[in-house]
């Protein structure tokens, strides 16, 4: 089984973002960038399926400018077999539907049985791409996956995190699965694997050569700081004081 994994380069999850003064987005200059944490988990799951002898090949893809090569090399060091960069112009912004359509074209070429993505990117927090890709491919989907098993009947069994608990689905292949935090604990790439990754294939496809035109349906008018909480923490000495204060606020 061939697995396609999508990864995105985003501002590192530990960075406190700064909004640009002109309201066009977050400041990216001299900011630490990393692989989206949910994509690390999707990739780890694919690599584990390969190590278990279930998957034959793990192809990792990113849509982004040239700097995404670094993210793809990192994915190769974590165990992906080859990488594809669909290269966009610097600063070009794409919506989830655009990304899903680009991935749809790659799926048509590569014919993977399983497509693994993170459940959401921690920058736009959209949580859309996997579901959109499944919709475009008219294939089965399992979002928010916390466990995945390939069964003998050529299907996969996926445990999903739902509001109030867990749900188990059996999916026909091909399928799109999006990873939740608890699917696995991603490994760190070792130095020898980082060295080896330099020699693994990384193919660059220019978006222009795909003849792809992004949707213009949505425009971001501005990005602003949320209003600050007007609170200076008032220190209390003990529980009795807390109860008195909460009663005063009619909070309890």
Partner 1 sequence: MSQTSILVIAEHDNQTLKSSTLTTLTAAQHIAAGSEGRVHLLIVGHQCQNVVDAARTLGGITEILVCDAPHYASLLAEEVCAAVVPLVTDFTHVLLPATGYGKNIAPRLAAMLDVAQISDITEVCDANTFVRPIYAGNALETVRNNGGQLVITVRGSAFTPSQHAGNDVRVTPVQPTAALALSRHVSQSLTPFSRPELSTSKIVISGGRGLSAKENFQLIETIADKLGAAIGASRAAVDAGFVPNDYQVGQTGKIIAPDLYIAVGISGAIQHLAGMKESKLIVAINKDKEAPIFQIADYGIEGDLFQILPELEKALA
Cα–Cα distance for residue pair 7/37, rounded to 1 Å: 9
Does 223 engage in binding with partner 1 (CB under 8 A)?
yes
**Candidates 46-54, 74-82, 137-145, 187-195; binding stretch for partner 1 (CB under 8 A):** 137-145
Q: Exposed e or buried b for every residue in 88-106, given b needs 16+ CB within 10 A?
A: beeeeebbbbbbbbbbeeb
Among 36, 62, 74, 96, binds partner 1 (CB under 8 A): 96
Kindly identify the residues of this chain, within the stretch 35-94, that bind partner 1 according to CB under 8 A: none
Nearer to partner 1, 208 or 243 (CB): 243
Does 28 engage in binding with partner 1 (CB under 8 A)?
no
Does 97 engage in binding with partner 1 (CB under 8 A)?
yes
Kindly identify the residues of this chain, within the stretch 178-197, that bind partner 1 according to CB under 8 A: 180-182
Among 21, 108, 211, 216, binds partner 1 (CB under 8 A): 216
The number of beta carbons lying within 10 Å of the beta carbon of residue 140 is 18
CB of 49 to partner 1, least distance (A): 19
Does 225 engage in binding with partner 1 (CB under 8 A)?
yes
CB of 197 to partner 1, least distance (A): 28
Nearer to partner 1, 81 or 98 (CB): 98
Pairing of strands 175-179, 114-118: parallel
Cα–Cα distance for residue pair 49/75, rounded to 1 Å: 15
Query: Closest by alpha carbon to 173, among 159, 152, 195?
Result: 152
Pairing of strands 57-64, 82-87: parallel
Nearer to partner 1, 113 or 127 (CB): 127
CA distances from 185 to 44, 80, 140, 142, 225 (A): 8, 16, 25, 19, 33
Kindly identify the residues of this chain, within the stretch 106-125, that bind partner 1 according to CB under 8 A: 119-120, 122-125
CB of 244 to partner 1, least distance (A): 8
Does 213 engage in binding with partner 1 (CB under 8 A)?
no
Kindly identify the residues of this chain, within the stretch 149-178, that bind partner 1 according to CB under 8 A: 157, 161-172
Number of residues in contact with partner 1, rule: CB under 8 A? 80
Q: Is the peptide bond before 139 cis (omega within 30 degrees of 0)?
A: no
Does 31 engage in binding with partner 1 (CB under 8 A)?
no
What one-character-per-residue DSSP string does 56-88 give?
A: SEEEEEEEESTTHHHHHHHHHHTT-SEEEEEE-
Does 215 engage in binding with partner 1 (CB under 8 A)?
yes
Pairing of strands 155-162, 140-150: antiparallel
Tokens found for residue 84: 């594809």
């Amino acid at each position: 089984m061939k697995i396609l994994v999508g990864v995105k380069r985003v501002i590192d999850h530990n960075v406190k973002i700064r909004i640009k003064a002109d309201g066009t987005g977050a400041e990216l200059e001299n900011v630490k960038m990393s692989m989206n944490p949910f994509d690390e988990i999707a990739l780890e799951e694919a690599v584990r399926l390969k190590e278990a002898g279930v998957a034959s090949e793990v192809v990792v893809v990113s849509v982004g400018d040239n700097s995404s090569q670094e993210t793809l090399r990192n994915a190769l060091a974590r165990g992906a077999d080859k990488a594809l960069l669909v290269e966009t112009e610097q600063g070009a912004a794409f919506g989830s539907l655009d990304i899903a359509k680009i991935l749809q074209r790659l799926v048509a070429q590569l014919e993977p049985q399983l497509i693994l993505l993170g459940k959401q990117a921690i920058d736009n927090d959209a949580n859309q791409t996997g579901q959109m890709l499944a919709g475009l491919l008219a294939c089965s989907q399992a979002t928010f996956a916390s466990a995945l098993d390939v069964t003998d009947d050529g299907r996969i069994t996926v445990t999903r995190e739902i509001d109030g608990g867990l749900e188990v689905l059996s999916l026909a292949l091909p399928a799109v699965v999006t990873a939740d935090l608890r699917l696995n604990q991603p490994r760190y790439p070792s130095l020898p694997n980082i060295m080896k990754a330099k020699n693994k294939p990384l193919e660059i496809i220019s978006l222009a050569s795909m003849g792809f035109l992004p949707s213009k349906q949505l425009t971001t008018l501005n990005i602003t700081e949320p209003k600050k909480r007007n609170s200076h923490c008032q220190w209390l000495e003990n529980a009795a004081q807390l109860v008195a204060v909460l009663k005063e606020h009619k909070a309890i």
